[in-house]
Amino acid sequence: MADRDGVIWYDGKMVPWREATTHVLTHTLHYGMGVFEGVRAYETSTGPAIFRLQDHTNRLFNSAKILNMTLPFTREEINAAHIAVIKENGLKSGYMRPMAFYGSEKLGIAPPKKDVHIIVAAWPWGAYLGEDGLAKGIRVKTSSFSRHHVNVTMCKAKANGNYMNSIMAHDEAAADGYDEALLLDVDGFVAEGSGENIFVVRAGKLYTPDLTSCLDGITRNTIFQIATEMGLQVIEKRITRDEVYICDEAFFTGTAAEVTPIRELDNRTIGCGSRGPITTEIQKRYFDIVQGRNSHHADWLTAC
């Protein structure tokens, strides 16, 4: 990732890609105390547009607040940085990574409160779980790692350090030949994927875990809206893994993963074993919205 042409927004300036570096004694590198987002821009008929930028920026600031980290830029400046990296890198579409981290001013558990840096990078990134995954669904395994307990790490924060848990879960699933992991909470109820929220469909209704231990996903929220428009009820509740085994359809949602059907969990076929009809319709509506084909949701798109 480091050896590329292009520019990265770094503390208010555009820096050549290869020069966007930091010292090895960077506090966040040692302890994981940082916050980030994953944002996507899509190609639309009127040029690239960022999906739900303000919501991502708001979550970034909320994550920082949870970690008691003061960000040295305003929300407006961070929004503008996203637009600028899409433009200056000449991208038609892409993934954006804003991240705030503590610098190398000192290295103890107490963070260097005044030494906070922010980057916003952007690069092309296709389907996170593969085009095939989007079309046919993916194979998932319940993880041996539990999702964070609400009073161990802060589940509403998209914090760098929280992702050690995601990485171990994904790594374990991938090593066993699965596409993704499903993490349960500490009480054994379904929480989310390593980087996605989960929905199940049963008898024409949508179910998703409440937000206790999973991230408050922006795609999840978008699905709520889509479901309402389709006349589908969404119920937030505790879900058990065997409820997923016997559901009609299941899918993951996330900025990177978009709407990815789950065709198998723990070697049990889910529903028809491919993308089900409700998932197909939700996915279609999702891509219509993000790619600017649904004028009712034009306010979710920020032109670049």
If phi > 0 it is left, if psi is from -120 to 50 it is alpha, else beta; for residue 47 that is left
Per-residue buried b or exposed e for 124-141, using 16+ beta carbons within 10 Å of the residue's own CB: eeeebbeeebbeebbbbb
Among 28, 89, 219, 283, binds ligand PMP (CB under 6 A): 219
Q: Which residues between 149 and 168 bind ligand PMP (CB under 6 A)?
A: 158, 166
Among 41, 49, 120, 218, binds ligand PMP (CB under 6 A): 218
Here's the x/- map for ligand PMP, 170-199, by CB under 6 A: it reads as: ----------------------x--xxx--
Among 217, 271, 276, 292, binds ligand PMP (CB under 6 A): 217
Here's the x/- map for ligand PMP, 245-264, by CB under 6 A: it reads as: --------xxx---------
Catalytic annotation on 158?
A: yes
Active-site residue, selected from the candidate residues 92, 136, 141, 158? 158
Nearest approach in angstroms of CB 26 to ligand PMP is 22
β strands within the chain, DSSP E: 7-10, 13-16, 34-36, 39-44, 47-51, 94-102, 116-123, 138-142, 180-184, 190-193, 197-202, 205-208, 234-236, 249-254, 258-265, 268-269, 301-303
If phi > 0 it is left, if psi is from -120 to 50 it is alpha, else beta; for residue 19 that is alpha
**Distance between CA atoms of 227 and 283, rounded to whole angstroms?**
11
By the 8 A CB rule, do 205 and 243 touch?
A: no
Question: In the complex with ligand PMP, which residue's Cβ is closer, 103 or 283?
Answer: 283
Give residue 170's Cα distance to chain centre. 14
Neighbour count for residue 203 (Cβ, 10 Å) = 6
Nearest approach in angstroms of CB 118 to ligand PMP is 18
Question: In the complex with ligand PMP, which residue's Cβ is closer, 57 or 255?
Answer: 255
Nearest approach in angstroms of CB 44 to ligand PMP is 19
By the 8 A CB rule, do 253 and 217 touch?
A: yes
Nearest approach in angstroms of CB 262 to ligand PMP is 14
**Residue range at the interface with ligand PMP (CB under 6 A); choices 82-90, 95-103, 212-220, 226-234:** 212-220
Bridge partners for 139 per DSSP: 264
Question: In the complex with ligand PMP, which residue's Cβ is closer, 7 or 200?
Answer: 200
Binding stretches for ligand PMP (CB under 6 A): 38, 158, 166, 192, 195-197, 214-215, 217-220, 253-255
Catalytic (active-site) positions = 158
